[in-house]
Amino acid sequence: MAETKTERLRVLVLDDYEGLATQVPAIEKLQAKADGAVMRNRLVTDEELGRALKGIHAILLMRERTRFGEKQLSLAPDLKLISQTGRGIAHLDLPAATRRGIAVSVTPNDSGISTVELTFGLIFALLRQIPQIDRRMRQEAWPAIPGQLLEGKTIGIVGLGRIGKQVASIARAFNTRVLATAKTLTDDRAREVGAERVSLEGILRESDIVTLHFPLNQDTRGLIGEKEISLMKAGALLINTSRGPIVSESALLHALEKGKLGGAGLDVYDEEPLPINHPLRRLSNVVLLSHRGYATVEILRERFELAMDNILSFLDGKPTNLLNPEVPAQGRK
């Protein structure tokens, strides 16, 4: 909606779980031009969301923490701009936003190093049994729980893109054998990062650790199911920092409960937040994180800054980084 003499743009920042939105320099510029609010808690129901969106002209979304389909968009009749952090919009109905005249802006993807680092954090947590030892150090004198070395292991990387390539390069520094597979991967591209190109079946059969680094789409949903897990080595580890539905949750639970897998490091789930009574929470051979792959102080601040810059550009009548530039410019200023 246009900023007028009698009405300032009203901006809502959703899902700032970590409380960092108000710590970036752009917030002062935004507050000088618009009235805003920051929501730290997740709005669970559409009723809660509808109350929050009343009279709101622009929203800032942190990744995919809140879904905005046709129903949710209908709760915000005054909405003119969605400023989205990152470029992934699986949670957002872009055609519906466009039909409603809502511009959608995005920010560039980061290097992925935060997810790379977290991947190794999960690997070491499982191999060295860090969570178990930490808990028992608070209950007994000196827990005698042996760990395992990463050195000499075989790591299988499913998806050798922006993140997978960095995982491969770092894994080689630990004197591991690195296997990789991807839809368009060639032998030469695999060798560039010290990996061997093999099939998905080959990775599952030969790897001590399988780590997933590819997007969720129609082709990859449920890619790792009961059959695929049955091919894995007894005691192998599965790491998923990509998206939960890539792995069959029921098949994974069964393999963990029966001891087929040695453990799993999970940052993503079918349903997020993970329900408090979910069976994964009861297993001792899993390390569970709350979708922390990108959630570092540095990256969150950078994304908030860039997303707020997009709102400021919109206010100035010069919208940037739009996914739907066909939305009429009328009312942007």
Residue 92: CATH number of its domain: 3.40.50.720
Task: Count structural domains, the chain.
Answer: 2
Q: Which of 10, 57, 63, 291 is catalytic?
A: 291
Nearest to 155 by CA among 139, 171, 174: 171
Do 48 and 77 belong to one domain?
yes
For residue 40, is it within any domain?
Answer: yes
Instruction: Tell me the two tokens of residue 221.
Output: 């949903």
**How crowded is the C-beta side of 70, counted as CA atoms within 13 Å?**
3
For residue 75, is it within any domain?
Answer: yes
Q: What does each of the 333 residues of the chain score in pLDDT, given as a tens digit?
A: 444 454 789 999 999 999 999 999 999 999 999 999 999 999 989 999 999 999 999 999 998 899 999 999 999 999 999 999 999 898 999 999 999 999 999 999 889 999 999 999 999 999 999 999 999 999 999 999 999 999 999 999 999 999 999 999 999 999 999 999 999 999 999 999 999 999 999 999 999 999 999 999 999 999 999 999 999 999 999 999 999 999 999 999 999 999 999 999 999 999 999 999 999 999 999 999 999 999 999 999 999 999 999 999 999 999 999 999 999 754 444
Give the C-alpha separation, 269 to 253, whole Å.
12
For residue 322, is it within any domain?
Answer: no
| Amino acid sitting at position 34 | A
Kind and range of the H or E run holding 134: helix 130-137
Do 260 and 141 belong to one domain?
yes
Q: Which of 10, 57, 243, 303 is catalytic?
A: 243
Report DSSP state, residue 84. Answer: E
Q: Which residue has the tokens 């060639």?
A: 186
Is residue 291 among the annotated active site residues? yes
Do 144 and 243 belong to one domain?
yes
Do 69 and 213 belong to one domain?
no
For residue 330, is it within any domain?
Answer: no
Is residue 243 among the annotated active site residues? yes
SS3 content of the chain, % helix, strand, coil (to 5): 35, 15, 50
For residue 1, is it within any domain?
Answer: no
Q: Which residue range is the domain that position 75 belongs to? A: 9-110+296-315
Q: Which of 272, 278, 301, 305 is catalytic?
A: 272
Is residue 301 among the annotated active site residues? no
